Amino acid sequence: MISRLRRTSYFQSLRRLPSRVRRRFSEYSIFAYLAVLGPGIIAANAGNDASGIATYSSIGAAFGYKLLWAFIPMMIGLIIVQEMCVRMGVVTGQGLADLIREQFGVRWTTFIMLAILIANTGVIISEFVGIAQASELLGIPRQFAIPFAAGLIWWLVVKSSQRRVEKVFLAMSFVFLCYVFAAFLAKPDWAEAGVGFIRPTISTDLFFLFALVAMIGTTITPFMQVYVQSSVVEKGLDKEDLPLARADVIVGTVFACIIAAFIVISTAATLHFSGITRIDSAATAAEALTPFAGEYAKYLFAIGLFGAAMLAMGVLPLATAYSLSEALGFEKGVSRSFREAPIFVGIFTSLLFIGAIVAMIPGIPQITLLLVTQCVNGLLLPVILFAILRLVNDKTIMGEYRNGTLMNIAAFTVAVVVSMLSILLIGQTIADMF
């Protein structure tokens, strides 16, 4: 982190140099500022996990291009929510669970942390199942792939520095480009897809509403808010870094939503227009693509699924460890050793171990697991969103950096709409379970 004093002296010294040398230093300073980027990109792309890819594939297969328009309001909503969390982290120097514990007390903190633990554990197991499915599509047995992936993520987080972990997570984000290539192999009708973005389609059909709600629930999830705020705190960003931290959020969210749209386009162009309208997993979608888009599309889809599950498998346990450690007042951080932060490292390790063991059980009911997880996340998301709004508008916490009128209107609109849709999702999920 470059402090305000060091930045001031740096730029004063820079002005005294000859123009040629000054240009050279300016070029290098760009790389210094790039060090701010990372948390927003990682958090947004972690939302495109194995269950997210399955959801987007199902939507493309079932509805073709009709729901592409939903990515535009979802993208705006996610940017608003993530920006508030980043701003709180930069201004207060505290994670979201830290602030919730201080401002709302033990009861609310216990409820929220318990819900986060249950929901994230379920999703972590589903990520390991995604690893298994992707590896088997690539011809690698799950008995080898799951322990290898768990060990690799554990070693990366526990034995590396925060900077190295962030670089690896950022590199994993580029694996999502596989879905762009898969979409082009599917040869979609780009004009019709473009119409899908600008012409909203609404239906009162229950399956349509459920798909729309699931799409939003997959894109805006509680763990993303926890992770992005804790990450900017651990990264040590200060108030002068806020513009670049906001840029990080915008770039990451736009990239993640574009990738999700390409997943919908690729499955719409092949499966929907070939009469295959029901997909129960991302692996099923990859297999179904082969007759229409070729073997390469299947492997690109599988590689993307593997990378997505690996990224989420790292981010989700970290977000859970951050939130529980903050709520309990223990030391936390990727750069901390087990001796320095035993609770943080212990939670992270335990979640990876549980996820790997459960995912290797033959015949695990993945769909039931995801439905229960969606219920918990749907219940938790409105609570988290309104807690964020309460905190970000608290003058004693945020001072001059609290929300303005326009930001509050936009943020409350997002919170109310997402909350209503979450309640619908819970009702539909419970109905499906019975």
pLDDT tens sequence across 199-247: 888 877 777 877 777 787 777 888 888 888 888 888 888 888 888 888 8
- Quote the radius of gyration of the chain (alpha carbons, Å): 22
Any domain includes 6: no
Nearest residue to 423 via CA among 393, 392, 385, 394: 385
How far is C-alpha 31 from the chain's CA centre? 25
pLDDT in tens, 52-78: 888 888 888 889 899 999 999 989 999
Higher pLDDT, 48 or 90: 90
Q: Of 35, 51, 429, 403, nearest to 232 (Cα)?
A: 35
Q: Using alpha carbons, list the distances in angstroms from residue 149 to 17, 161, 245, 316, 352.
A: 50, 19, 30, 14, 10
What is d(CA 70, CA 48) in angstroms, rounded to the nearest whole number? 15
Whether residue 160 lies inside any domain: the answer is yes
What's the length of the chain?
Answer: 434
What mean pLDDT comes out for the span 88-117? Answer: 86
- 3-class DSSP state of 2: coil
- Look at the alpha carbons of 117, 119, 124, 129 in this order and tell me if their dihedral is positive or negative: positive
Per-residue pLDDT band at 14 (split at 50, 70, 90): very low
| 258 within 8 A of 183, measured Cβ to Cβ | no
Residue-wise pLDDT for 284-321, tens only, equals: 777 766 666 667 777 888 888 888 888 888 888 888 88
How far apart (Å, rounded) are the C-alpha atoms in residues 249 and 410? 17
Helix axes 295-328, 242-270, angle to 10 degrees: 140
Q: Which residues are CB-neighbours of 259 under 8 A, at least 6 positions away?
A: 45, 48, 176, 177, 179, 180
pLDDT in tens, 282-291: 677 777 666 6
What pLDDT score does 29 carry?
A: 47
- Cβ-based burial of 205 (10 A; exposed 0-12, middle 13-18, buried ≥19): exposed
Whether 12 is covered by a domain: the verdict is: no
How many domains in the chain? 1
Q: Which residue has the tokens 């499966």?
A: 271
Quickly tell me which residue has 């960003």 as its tokens: 237
Residue 248 is assigned to a structural domain of this protein? yes
Nearest residue to 316 (alpha-carbon basis) of 429, 202, 222, 415: 222
Instruction: Let me know if residue 27 belongs to a domain.
Output: no
The CA–CA distances, whole Å, from 62 to 7, 68, 414 equal: 53, 12, 26
- Give mean pLDDT, residues 27-34: 46
Question: In the numeric block, which tokens belong to residue 405?
Answer: 């009128």
* Cα torsion angle, 249, 254, 255, 256, sign: positive
- Rounded average pLDDT over 374-390: 80
Which of 21-30, 76-85, 298-307 reaches the highest mean pLDDT?
A: 76-85
Indicate if the alpha-carbon torsion angle 91, 94, 100, 106 is positive or negative.
negative
First to last CA, the chain: 53
| Angstrom distance (rounded) from CA 63 to CA 65 | 6
**331-355 residue pLDDT tens:** 887 777 778 888 888 999 999 999 8
Count of helices and strands (H, E) across the chain? 19, 0
Residue 303: alpha-carbon gap to chain centroid? 18
Question: Per the domain annotation, does 197 fall within a domain?
Answer: yes
d(CA 80, CA 219): 13
Structure tokens at 13: 């010294």
CA distance 29 to 33: 6
Asked if residue 26 belongs to a domain, the reply is no
Domain range for residue 75?
A: 37-433
Q: What is the dihedral of CA 28, 32, 34, 39, to 10 degrees?
A: 170
Report which residue type is found at 23.
Answer: R
Q: What is the pLDDT of residue 366?
A: 60
Contact between 172 and 40 under an 8 Å Cβ cutoff? The reply is: no
> Distance between CA atoms of 18 and 25, rounded to whole angstroms?
11
CATH code of 176's domain: 1.20.1740.10
**What's the predicted TM-score (pTM) here?**
0.82
User: Rounded distance, CA 396 to CA 89, Å?
Assistant: 15
Per-residue pLDDT tens digits for 171-204: 888 888 888 888 888 888 999 999 999 988 887 7
pLDDT of residue 33: 44
**pLDDT tens column, 122-167:** 888 888 888 888 888 888 888 898 999 999 999 988 887 777 787 8
Q: Does residue 18 lie in a domain region?
A: no
